[in-house]
Structure 1
Amino acid sequence: MDSRTTQFEHRLKENAARVEAMLAQLLADTCLDGERARPASLLAAMRHGVLNGGKRLRPFLVIESSALLGGDANVALRIGAALECVHCYSLVHDDLPAMDDDDLRRGKPTVHIAFDEATAILAGDSLLTYSFDIIAAAETQLSPPQKLELILALSRASGIGGMAGGQALDLAAEKETPDEQGIMTLQAMKTGALIRFGCEAGAIIAGADLDVRRRLSAFGEKIGLAFQLADDLLDLTADAATMGKATGKDAARGKGTLIALHGQAWVEAALTRQVQEAAELLAPFGKRASVLVEAAHFVASRKS
């Protein structure tokens, strides 16, 4: 492992610790204005689904894309936490018996196992809605137009045309195998949409112009696809202990993936190409974008 990789991983861990602390603060048992109570069992389930480690890659992208463009660090941290709430809600719901039916997440019991299915559903619902609370709150010191831009972008990234719609396509892929374009669309929605938002959010926070925002969004789209390609490879090659969850499930279910369609070598080549194209998008920023370029390489080479 070279020093550059070590420095990147150190920065990733530092940001993850900051995000974890922010999430713990946001998910405290103290009621906010307008809240009558925070039911203990529901709050515990939300904390179980969120405060369980992880790389916090999506918040990292918000923080680093904002830093690249001179955005406010505390605002970026709060928006990153909001994005992580959406991501964690999706994991809580994905793990349910009606969806992926997983008992483990990051080596620990999933929320519906640790609590029950009804509480897991409510925990996911609460995390999703809380994400927009975090963006809109006075503590997130952005102009009203910027907050509206973030709320709109996150809504579209997480809803019917984004992550949730992608999950619907993923379920359908177990019954009828999509073609290559169908799989690419599925992956861009299910996995890529929130990653793309993470990069675009930094540009919104920093008040960047439309061209810069589009460039960061395109970068996020590239690494979002790279993330899913790497995930498909890990599902094929990694063991459950390393991943902290069951592996080999895509093949067992006959799910349509690019590996199933084209094979491992094709996917590995496509993964390399996506990372190269992502790095090229950030070339105009020079060395200032080195952390985000390293993030693209990390996404492709991760082991869990």
Structure 2
Amino acid sequence: MAQWSKVAVNPLPWVMDSGAFILNEETLGQAMKELSDAGFNALHSDPPQGMSPEAYRAFLAQFGFRPAPGYFSAELHSLETRPEVIDAARAHARMIAELGLTETFVAADIDFPRLIRPAIGRGGSPERTKVIAETLALAADAAAAEGVRFALHPHIATPIETEEETRQVLDETAGSALGFGPDTGHLEWAGMVSEQIIGDYSDRVIAVHLKDVDGAAKEIATRYTDDFMSATAVRHIWTEPGRGKINFNAVFDALPASFNGWFVVEVDVPNLDTAFASSKESHDYLARHPRFEVAA
């Protein structure tokens, strides 16, 4: 049985502060000090504004980190802005390639009506999803020309949220350069069975985000029709891998035997008391798991 060693972490618990997104050297430096103590040595790639890829790699190296796949999002359902989206996708791919990476996650921008009523596909339509799929195929092909594969990342509160939307995009982009970059937490919250949809598109999975879902929190958030922020920041629907309802053994078994992509831990809002405790628990779960070769 092959063991996986390409494990990274997203520093979102440090970068997000009361809804604000604070991405600077000071914040990232503090995050990497604590994440290093937690056992991680690779970081989700998102250089602070104005920092070149070369400078970013050097900055990570100061803390013993290397870059891992990043995240590109855009307004994908507008034909009017499609040329700008393709240009931005190309620029992101070029940055990712300069970091020495060959893959990155891609998602649609936040859809504000779905922030209010998440995980039910509010306001969606096959017609809108078809436009999104066409844009993603073009963006993925543009990124591939830069040596980078885009991995579709279904995300709660975006126009690619539900199983129907996810499958439509993947089916309509078959034959393009677009791969699949599932996030176990977002799949579960949207009502999907992670191992089932990952298994159905296993030949296109090139990277995975790992987070778990607190079953009790999800049930309460659904019962009270919570908005996205209430469900995540108040109910703490996200939790660390191995502490929730997702069957990760089944998820890992659903991946092809040849899979050698990145796993990025991303517990946006920790369920444990501190960001460090959350990251330490996530790291230690993978270090204990027989499918991973991760230093304890």
More helix by share: 1
Q: Structures share a fold, TM > 0.5?
A: no
Length-normalised TM-score, structure 1? 0.31
Structure having greater relative contact order (Cα 8 Å, sep ≥ 6): 2
Length-normalised TM-score, structure 2? 0.31
